[in-house]
Amino acid sequence: MFLEFPQNKKENEGWIEVICGSMFSGKTEELIRRIRRAQFAKMSIKCFKPSIDTRYHDQKVVSHDNTSIDSIAIEHSSEMIAHCNDVQVVAIDEAQFFDQDLPHICNTLANKGIRVIIAGLDMDFQGKPFGPMPYLLAIAEHVTKVHAICVKTGGLANFSFRQTPEESLIQLGEKESYSPLSRGAFIEEMKSKNSELKK
């Protein structure tokens, strides 16, 4: 069970939490929930998002259900360090879009005694580990995997299926572009999509 404030926490001992899953699984909602609880505890917080994610707002972190929280949009993960003096909690949304230095930056922050909360897609549209996420999962003390509901089977969804033909790794989109699918449904849809592309 994940405890937000472990009883055995020593002074100046930080840690890393990762919230991962497919699209529409509630990752950002869970990130915002944890931030709100830290705010209630009167902790000093900085929240970051990648500057390329402008789907809902240029600066705010916004969930699919329109819950939002103020954040700082940055291009490179190293920019976080300058913002994190005298901060107790650092929150990072859409971590999969950041550069490969992000795990090092998160380790640096945690080693300074900061609680680092990260949310991101663990797999890309092809079902492969996404960006820095596998490294973040490896170094995290706490990992929470959340699930969407498969639109084909009604079961748990682990995969984000891209419905459009674009092949670029980063493709911002919502329900018009992506569907959450279970493993079996994802395999079937990928076979169908690949056969269509070959025609």
The set of catalytic residues is: 94
> Residues near 142 by Cβ (< 8 Å), separated by ≥ 6?
2, 15, 16, 17, 18
Record the tokens describing residue 99, joined without a space: 């550069």
- 3-state helix/strand/coil string of the chain: CCCCCCCCCCCCCCEEEEEEECCCCCHHHHHHHHHHHHHHCCCCEEEEEECCCCCCCCCCEECCCCCEECCEEECCHHHHHHHCCCCCEEEECCHHHCCCCHHHHHHHHHHCCCEEEEEEECECCCCCECCCHHHHHHHCCEEEEECEECCCCCCEECEEEECCCCCCCCCCCCCCCEEEECHHHHHHHHHHHHHHHHC
